């Protein structure tokens, strides 16, 4: 998931998806991963960043839908259990 967006301070980084160089002064997405004591940044050009963000939005919407469905199912179960106990 893209954690941050920033303006590229140099032209040394390349996109983690398409492998093209990210030009100095252009917007880029940043994904940060922490493993133990180490932190790594992965950079993505503006096109690949937008693509990743759109994919993350779709995944989040599906997750929200699934979560709400689970809550409704569990709520029904709890209500039935309470009625059964009365």
Whichever domain contains 15, its CATH number is 3.30.1740
Order of strands, sheet of 27-35, starting from the edge strand that comes earlier in the sequence: 4-7, 27-35, 38-44
CA–CA gap between residue 55 and residue 73 (Å, rounded)? 27
pLDDT score at 72:
85
How open is the CA angle 39-22-35, to the nearest 5 degrees?
10
Domain containing 68 equals 4-85
pLDDT score at 76:
74
pLDDT tens-place values along the chain, 86 residues long: 999 999 999 999 999 999 999 999 999 999 999 999 999 999 999 999 999 999 999 999 999 999 888 888 888 777 777 667 66
The total domain count for the chain is: 1
Q: What is the pTM of this model?
A: 0.75
pLDDT score at 86:
61
Contact call for residues 9 and 38 (beta carbons, < 8 A):
no
């Amino acid at each position: 998931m893209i954690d941050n967006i920033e303006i590229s301070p140099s032209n040394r980084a390349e996109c983690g998806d398409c492998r093209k160089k990210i030009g100095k002064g252009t917007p880029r997405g940043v994904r940060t991963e922490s493993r133990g004591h180490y932190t790594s940044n992965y950079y993505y050009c503006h096109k690949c960043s937008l693509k990743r963000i759109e994919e993350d939005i779709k995944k989040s919407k599906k997750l929200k839908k699934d979560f709400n469905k689970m809550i409704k199912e569990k709520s029904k179960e709890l209500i039935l259990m309470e009625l059964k106990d009365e």
